[in-house]
């Protein structure tokens, strides 16, 4: 747990969240300000400030996170119609919370390129 990290506090239950899924290494919850009808954040319980802060030792964790996101997307009914994953990284990547999170966005048509 990192001091003053919003998502570490959510994992610890110090800040409430609308949980979708939890296991030993990942936690998923609804985004507080949804950008799509389905907008879920999937995060590792281990504090990693961004996806590019991961190292070799995090390989299995990242794979697990992505596979669990696939399960969640399917449970949300998105598998057939499609959906989008987003990992904003750093300032110009639009990252505002510095604890790695995968956005699952779905149930509306996505556009490209993103803003």
Interacting residues with Zn ion (CB under 5 A) = 2, 5, 7-8, 47, 99
Alpha-carbon distance of 57 to 23, in angstroms, equals 19
Q: Structure tokens of 14?
A: 């110090």
- The residue among 76 and 88 lying less far from ligand 5GP, judged by its C-beta, is 88
8 touches, from Zn ion, ligand 5GP, none (C-beta below 5 to 8 Å by class): Zn ion
CA 39 vs CA 24, 29, 76, 83: distances in Å: 22, 9, 10, 10
Alpha-carbon distance of 77 to 98, in angstroms, equals 29
Cβ of residue 54: shortest distance to ligand 5GP, in angstroms? 16
Is 9 among the residues that bind ligand 5GP (CB under 6 A)? no
103 is catalytic: no
Cα 103-91-87 angle, rounded to 5 deg: 20
Q: Which residues bind ligand 5GP (CB under 6 A)?
A: 6, 15, 17, 29, 31-33, 88, 94-97
Residues designated catalytic: 101
């Amino acid at each position: 747990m990192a001091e003053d990290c919003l998502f570490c506090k959510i994992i610890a239950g110090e800040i409430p969240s609308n949980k979708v899924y939890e296991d030993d290494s990942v936690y998923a919850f609804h985004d507080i300000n949804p950008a799509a009808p389905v907008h879920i954040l999937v995060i590792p319980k281990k504090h990693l400030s961004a996806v590019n802060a991961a190292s070799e030792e995090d390989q299995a964790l990242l794979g697990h996170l992505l596979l669990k996101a696939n399960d969640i997307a399917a449970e949300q009914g998105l598998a057939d119609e499609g959906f989008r994953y987003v990992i904003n990284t750093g300032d110009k990547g639009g990252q505002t919370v510095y604890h790695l999170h995968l956005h699952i966005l779905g149930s509306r048509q996505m556009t490209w390129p993103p803003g």
